[in-house]
Structure 1
Amino acid sequence: MPLLSRRDFIKRTLAAGLASGLVLFGLEKTAGGATITPRGTFYDLTKCDGCQGLKVPRCVSACREENNFKFPRPAEQIEYYWPQKKKEDWQDKRDLTTRLTPYNWTFVQHVQVKHDGRVLDVFIPRRCMHCDNPPCANLCPFGAQSKTPEGPVIINPNLCLGGAKCRDVCPWGIPARQAGVGLYMKLAPRYVGGGVMYKCDLCYHRIKEGKIPACVEACPRGAIVFGDKEEMREQARKRAREIGGYIYGDKENGGTSTFYVSPVSFAKIHEQLMMQKNRQPNPEAPGFPGMPEGVGNFLDSVNGIAGALLAAPLAGAFAAGYAAYRTIKGGEDHGG
C-alpha cells in the first residue's frame, strides 16, 4: 500500500468533521445535485490606482455597503473575560477604512517600489485570500469556519467564540475580532471566548444568487476579475507573461483562490509593507497584512497535523449539535 502524504493524511482524517460543517451550511451540493465550480479572483495591479481622488476606494465602499447587515452589533457593556484584562472593541473605529477590522473587510494598501531605475506606485486591494486548504477552517474546534464548494471560506457568527486560532494560523492574520457579540455572550461572557471573528466572505450571499462580489462590480478600472478559479489562474499567468511580472497567491499557503499580478516582485512589495507596518503606532496590531512569498501551510507542520486531529472530531460534534438545534428552531444563520 502506498504511503500517504501528510496533506492527504490530514484531508482524510478531517473528512468526517468537515463533512458535518458542509451539511451545517447546506453546501454539499446544489438543489439539483449539480457539481459546483470553484470561483477565484484575479487582481491586476497594473490597473489598480486606489481610486485616486476619492477618499475611499470604490471596492472598499461597495464592500462596506453590501455587507453592513453582517457587521457586529455588540452589547453596550462589554466585560473583560477571565483571566485576561483585554478586549478587542472596534466600535469607535467603525469608519476606519485603512486596515482590516470587523467593520471593514477589504482595504487598499499603497507602496512605492524602485523598479528598473524608477519608482512605481503600487496599489494592492487586500482581504481574505480564501485558501484551498485553509488552516483557519480546519483547526477551528467549534466548526465555525468552512471552505465552501464555491471557493469562499466563511465564518458562522453564531458558532464562533472568538478564540482567534484562525488568525494565529493565517499567514496574513486576516480575521478581525469584535468583543461583546456572539455565542460566548449567552454562555459565560466573563469566562469564555472573546467575541466573534470577522472577515471577507466574498459576498457569499451574492455568489449563491449567481452574482459577483460587490468589490468586483464596483471597480471602475477592471482591476478585479471574478470567475471560474482555473480561468482566473490562467488569466493571471497570461498577464504575468505579458508584462514580465510576478504572481502571488498561486502557491502561498498551499494555494489560494486569489491571484495577484504585479510588475514588481512581491518580495519588494512585502518589504515596503513591513516598513509601513513598523511605523504604525502599534506595529503588532492585526489588520495590516504583508505579502510574504512562498509562505507554507501550517497544516503541513507536525503541530498542524496534531491540531487538525484534535479539532476535527470536536468541530464535527459541535457543528452537528448546532445543525440539530437549527432544525428544531427552524432558524437561519444571519450572514451565512
Structure 2
Amino acid sequence: MNRRAFLKSLGTAVAAAPVAAPLLARDAAAASGEQLATLFDLSKCVGCGACVAGCREAHAADYPNPRKPFPKMYPPRVKVEDFSDKRDVEDRLTPYNWLFIQTATVTRNGKAISLNIPRRCMHCVHPPCAELCPWGSAVRHDDGAVVIDSNICLGGSKCRDVCPWHIPQRQTGVGLYLDLMPAFAGNGVMYKCDRCHGRVAAGGKPACIEACPNDVQTIGPRREIIAAAHDLARQTGGFIYGETENGGTNTLYVSPIPFEELHAALQPGPGNPGLQAAADVMGKEKNLATAVLLAPFAGIAAGILRVANRARKAAKEDDHV
C-alpha cells in the first residue's frame, strides 16, 4: 500500500470530518427501547456443535486475514497473538471461533452428570469493554448487542482486560494499526461474538439460534427473558446465571446444577471463560468516573479512526488503479 498516499488522504479527511461523541452505553439504553436478551436452557443442550458451525458459516467473511511477517512491537512485552494457523480450533474462543461448547461434569448423589454449555460474549447491560475502550471501537447497541468495530479497533486488549470473562480474542497482523503505527499501536484487532447484530437488525435471528436443532436458546426483550428464566428455574428446580452477574447481562443460562459447581468443574483459562460470581465492573466508582471522562475522547477517537479507515481504503484503491 502507498503509505504516503494514505497519510495524505488521512490528513485531508480528518481536517474535513465532523466528529461526535457518543453517549455512554447505559445512557443510550435509557434513551432507546428495551434491550434484547437470550436464554440458554442447558438441560436441552446435547453438545452437537450445530450452533458453532452456524456461527462460523455466518461470520466467515468477518474473520481476519493477517499480513505476515508481523511488525516488531515495542515494548517487547506486547506479544504476538496469532491464530491464523489454528482456524479449525473449536474447543475455545479465538478470533476464528466466537462460540464454543464447554462440558462440565459434576457428581451429585454419587452420580456423574455432564452439562454442555454454549459459551460466547455475555453482552452485558453495562459492558465495561464498551464504556472503557479508549478508542470507541466497542459499542453496546440499542438492541443489547455489544459489537467491536474491526475497522477501527487497534487491538489494545483493554476490552479483554476489563471483561470479567476475558472474552475478546486478539489476532495480530490485521487492522488499522498496520498503517498508523505498526510498532506501537495495539498489535491487531480484537474479535468476539456480535450476536449477529446485522441479522437481528434486519429482522432475523442469530445464526446459532437458527442452527440449533433442540431449541436450546431463545431471544426476546430482556424483561420477558428474565421472567422466562425464573419460570423455567421454578419448574425444574434450576439455577440462573447472567441476571445479576457484572450488573446484569443479556445472556442468561438456566441449569439444573448450581453454577458454583459447574465453575469448579471447569478449567478456566485463555479463551475458556469460567462461570464465577462476577461483581459489577461498571458499578465501581473509579470505573464509572473513568467512563464518564473517557466518553467524549473515545467518541472523538472513534470518529478519527473511521476517517483513517476510509483514507486507508481510498489509498488502497489508488494503488490498484
TM-score calculated relative to the size of structure 1:
0.81
Aligned positions, number? 292
Of 106, 116, 123, which residue of structure 1 is paired with 2:116?
123
Tell me, yes or no, if the aligned pair for 2:24 and 2:292 is still in contact at 8 Å. Answer: no
Of 213, 216, 228, which residue of structure 1 is paired with 2:209?
216
Of 274, 286, 309, which residue of structure 2 is paired with 1:290?
274
Ranges in structure 2 where 5+ consecutive residues have no aligned partner: 1-19, 315-321
Give the secondary structure class of the aligned counterpart of 2:105: strand
Provide the aligned C-alpha RMSD in A: 2.5
Shift of the 330–191 alpha-carbon distance from structure 1 to 2, 3 Å rule, reads closer
2:62 corresponding residue in structure 1: 70
Q: Which amino acid is 1:43 matched to?
A: F
Q: CA deviation at 1:44?
A: 0.2
- What does the per-residue CA deviation read over 1:28-48, in whole Å, with 9 as the maximum and x for residues that have no partner? 9xxxxx964421100000100
Tell me, yes or no, if the aligned pair for 1:21 and 1:316 is still in contact at 8 Å. Answer: no
Q: How is 1:157-172 mapped onto 2 (pairs within 5 angstroms)?
A: 157-172=150-165
Q: CA deviation at 1:299?
A: 1.9
Give the secondary structure class of the aligned counterpart of 2:118: strand
Q: Distance in 2 between matches of 1:326 and 1:78?
A: 20
Q: Which amino acid is 2:69 matched to?
A: Q
Q: 4+ residue stretches of structure 1 with deviation over 3 A?
A: 34-37, 320-331
Q: Which amino acid is 1:40 matched to?
A: A
Q: Which amino acid is 1:151 matched to?
A: G
Q: Which amino acid is 2:300 matched to?
A: A
Matched, 1:43 2:8: no
TM-score calculated relative to the size of structure 2:
0.85
Matched, 1:229 2:212: no
Q: CA deviation at 1:21?
A: 8.7
- What does the per-residue CA deviation read over 1:220-245, in whole Å, with 9 as the maximum and x for residues that have no partner? 11111122222211111110001111
Tell me, yes or no, if the aligned pair for 2:39 and 2:229 is still in contact at 8 Å. Answer: yes
- What does the per-residue CA deviation read over 1:133-192, in whole Å, with 9 as the maximum and x for residues that have no partner? 000000001100110001100001111111101101101000000000111101011122
Tell me, yes or no, if the aligned pair for 2:99 and 2:118 is still in contact at 8 Å. Answer: yes
Q: Distance in 1 between matches of 2:24 and 2:38?
A: 27
Give the secondary structure class of the aligned counterpart of 2:22: helix
1:19 corresponding residue in structure 2: 23
Give the secondary structure class of the aligned counterpart of 1:180: coil
Matched, 1:319 2:302: yes
Shift of the 144–263 alpha-carbon distance from structure 1 to 2, 3 Å rule, reads same
Q: Which amino acid is 2:302 matched to?
A: A
Q: CA deviation at 1:116?
A: 3.6
Q: CA deviation at 1:329?
A: 9.9
Tell me, yes or no, if the aligned pair for 1:207 and 1:213 is still in contact at 8 Å. Answer: yes
